[in-house]
Amino acid sequence: MISVYKKNLISMFVKNILLVTVFFFCLTLVMNVLEEITFFKNMSVTFTLPLLLTFFNSFSVLFEIFPFIFLIGTMSFFFEILQKEELIIYKSYGLSNLRIVGLVTSSAFFFGIFVILIFYHFSSNLKFMYYEIKSNYTTDDKYLAMVTENGIWIRDQLNGKINIINAKNMANEYLNDASITQFDNKND
């Protein structure tokens, strides 16, 4: 059974992480919606499409900034404890700084495992849907290129075939260590 002080510390920590996450999510939504509106400004689409694409893309952006969210959330947690002078109360009951930091560290570890195992899968699926929808509105015949940590990815549709080109890097005008995977319209 978890003691009362552990429940209190964990709930305060999770509350701070969630508040910072909500703040950055709203900030990401505002920045992404402006980018999507700029992309669609010369096309006749409803306003809901940029909003939908913004929603799909925001989770992957949020996943990329989660280290900073943890940092700011943890700082906010310790600031709140110091401001309310709860650290003095915990120390008067015999809790050491090491136990408090250990509890926060283990909570952050489990929260991080959740982010990596669950949230990443969810955000990557939404990012895939984002690229699928947005590629329908590109003017260069369903061509999509992306540079990631895994290299350069190019998706091109030509003569009824879908080509996925992956390269480790690019030197001058040439792709290095490139591989091409070709699918038909049924993804076979």
Q: In the prediction, which pLDDT does 87 show?
A: 84
pTM: 0.72
Distance CA 80, CA 102 (A): 17
Q: Note whether 75 and 149 are same-domain residues.
A: no
Listed in sequence order, the residues at least 6 apart from 53 whose beta carbon sits closer than 8 Å to its beta carbon are 32, 36, 130, 133, 134
Side chain identity, residue 46: T
Outline where DSSP puts E strands in the chain: 144-148, 151-158, 161-167, 169-171, 174-176, 179-183
Q: Note whether 84 and 152 are same-domain residues.
A: no
Q: In the prediction, which pLDDT does 81 show?
A: 92
- The parent domain of residue 83 ranges over 4-135
Q: Note whether 65 and 121 are same-domain residues.
A: yes
Outline where DSSP puts E strands in 102-150: 144-148
Q: Note whether 30 and 80 are same-domain residues.
A: yes
Kindly state whether residue 56 falls inside one of the protein's structural domains: yes
188 residues of the chain, pLDDT tens digit each: 568 888 888 999 999 999 999 999 999 999 999 888 888 888 888 888 889 899 999 999 999 999 999 999 999 999 999 998 888 888 888 888 898 899 999 999 999 999 999 999 999 899 888 888 887 777 655 556 677 777 788 777 777 788 888 888 778 878 888 888 888 777 67
Q: Note whether 73 and 162 are same-domain residues.
A: no
Kindly state whether residue 31 falls inside one of the protein's structural domains: yes
Q: Note whether 101 and 171 are same-domain residues.
A: no
Q: Note whether 64 and 13 are same-domain residues.
A: yes
Side chain identity, residue 167: A
Structural domains of the chain, count: 2
Kindly state whether residue 64 falls inside one of the protein's structural domains: yes
